[in-house]
Chain A
Amino acid sequence: MKTISLRLIVAVLLAGIGLTALVIASTYDIGSARRMGPGYFPVVLSAVLVLLAVAEGVTAFMKRAPESSSSKIDWRPLLAILGAVAGFAVTIALFGLIPAFFVVIGLATLSEPRYGWKPAAILAIITCIGAWLLFSQLLGMTLPLFRLGF
């Protein structure tokens, strides 16, 4: 059975990044080797990235290694953790630091089934108190603890 390996997918992704960067860079002024424009480095770099990624992709394709457990994606923790960070970003902009801590910790604990809301709440409270003591009291930083609307 032939499966598309994760290694190949990443190589294709990298080639895609390189190609996009190349297309964008081609709109910049390239200049000459003697008097380089802002586009010179990006064009060279993205072209090299595409070449390297293609080489890596070909190797990965030829190899057809059996999927080992280390090259599988764990969707649950991946989505939970990334969602937690994104949730923090949205919440701190809208409601301030304390709610943001509850959101980030709450979402992060979704990475495991049956984490339970009690330990999550306790962790969030401890983190809030610790952060408040450190940032607001000790360091005197002006972080918005609570805020409403934009």
Chain B
Amino acid sequence: MPRFHWNNIRRSLAASVIGGLAVVSAGTAIAEDYPTQPITLVVGFPPGGSTDVVARILAGHMSTSLGQPVLVENRPGAGGTVGISHVANSDPDGYTLGVSGVGASILIDALGRDSGYDIDNDLDVIGVMGTLGLVIAGRNGLEAQTLPELMEFAKANPEDLTYGSSGVGTPGHLAMEYLKSLAGVEMLHIPYKGNTPLLNDVVGGHVDIAMLTTPGAAEHVRAENIQPFAVSSPERSSLMPDVPTVIEGGFEGYTATLWNLLVAPKGTPADVQAKLSDALNGAMKDVRVVGEFATKGLAPTITTPEEATQFLVDERAKWKGVIETAGVPKK
């Protein structure tokens, strides 16, 4: 026969009261012990793509530091906006996050297209998830060897050179248009559907020049299938340290980089944001992540949510200026 001790009863009573309070307060104090369930990280592109790779590298590290799995969910479509639109419409509880690139954050909106959300009013920016440079490369057999020579040739032979981009309104297209307007040259734009067919045609010699992502181009530069003219990042790329920047080529202040932002639905509690920001920055400092980033031509970034929001504001001003200067028509 079990014997009841007052102490035991008191203890269990106390436990159940505390338990009950915990249940009651669960709605308000989620941030205290956040995260208590797996976090979904929405990627607006298919698995295996560059955005997906970045997301998975960082998600892996964030899972260990947050103590809950961060699961990548691919919701591809419309330049990433389908995925981000889903995040914008989710509960701001910190369990649905998104990876938003240049297109989904700025360009789609700046080119006058409806993305289904307003990044300033519908989303909180938690941090920058690294930056990636672009490289201007040409097919083999072009006479020009350097960027100034290339621009000189283009100036002397207007509309003679063709340049390919991975699509209308992509950073590569806009960055080339910007360069054209700065150099005062005319080149014929040939849009492609993504980086892959573009790479195929510049290696095959069907298009003269292309703006490619550095990791996609690096192997071909090394094998001398294409010749690099300049990288668009402010500093030289770790993947091709011999290639000068566009700034070195005489175009002061010219930069164009790709990046991703970690975003959450607007209204996510500040302490949840702080936890996520710490986890993201922790990942950026991790030796393994730094190593993996380097092999993929990515530059790590460490930002507070405020800095990341300011970064978005600055980048938007820059890209809007590019669209303005280059005279890209809005839809």
Contact = CB atoms under 8 A, between A and B. Distances in A.
A113 interface: no
Interface size class of A (residues with CB under 8 A): under 10
Indicate the size class of the contact surface on chain B: under 10
Contacts of A142: 38, 40, 71, 73
Contacts of A140: 71
A21 B71 CA distance: 41
Nearest to A140: B71
A contacts with B: majority SS: loop
B244 to A, nearest CB: 36
Interface string B33-70: 00000101000000000000000000000000000000
Nearest to B40: A142
A142 B69 CA distance: 11
A24 B73 CA distance: 35
Nearest to B89: A150
Interface string A122-150: 00000000000000000010100000000
Contacts of B38: 142
Interface string B140-162: 00000000000000000000000
Contacts of B71: 140, 142
A128 to B, nearest CB: 20
Interface in B260-313: none
Interface string B59-101: 0000000000001010000000000000000000000000000
A140 B72 CA distance: 10
Nearest to B90: A150
A6 to B, nearest CB: 36
B41 to A, nearest CB: 10
A84 to B, nearest CB: 25
A140 B73 CA distance: 11
A6 B68 CA distance: 58
Nearest to A150: B89
B125 to A, nearest CB: 23
A140 B63 CA distance: 15
Interface of B: 38, 40, 71, 73
